């Protein structure tokens, strides 16, 4: 009776969650899904649109930063 009854086993680490559509932040995903569901576009088109929105948004932030 010297050995323990239950040997604690290491659980394998969880696999990283799969991103189905876009890799990026939630801000971008929000626009992506809004564009996708409101216009019923194809995946590539709405991904392209989300990319444009992101680019415009970044440009807006940068220009505002330059004004300061």
| Average pLDDT score over the chain | 60
Q: How many domains does the chain have?
A: 1
Q: What is the mean pLDDT of residues 56-68?
A: 62
Which position has the token pair 């590539």? 44
How high is the pLDDT of residue 45?
59
Please indicate, yes or no, if residue 14 is contained in any of the structural domains: no
Range of the domain at 61: 26-67
Please indicate, yes or no, if residue 8 is contained in any of the structural domains: no
Q: Give φ, ψ of 63 to 5 degrees.
A: -70, -35
pLDDT tens profile 2-30? 555 566 666 666 665 555 544 556 666 66
Please indicate, yes or no, if residue 44 is contained in any of the structural domains: yes
Give the integer Cα–Cα distance in Å for 63 and 48: 23
Q: What is the mean pLDDT of residues 52-65?
A: 62
The pTM assigned to this predicted structure is 0.20
Please indicate, yes or no, if residue 54 is contained in any of the structural domains: yes
How high is the pLDDT of residue 22?
46
């Amino acid at each position: 009776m010297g050995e323990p009854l239950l040997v604690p086993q290491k659980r394998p680490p969880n696999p990283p969650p799969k991103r189905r559509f876009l890799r990026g932040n939630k801000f971008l995903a929000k626009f992506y899904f809004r564009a996708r569901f409101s216009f019923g576009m194809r995946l590539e088109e709405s991904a392209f649109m989300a990319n444009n929105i992101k680019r415009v948004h970044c440009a807006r932030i940068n220009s505002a930063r330059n004004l300061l």
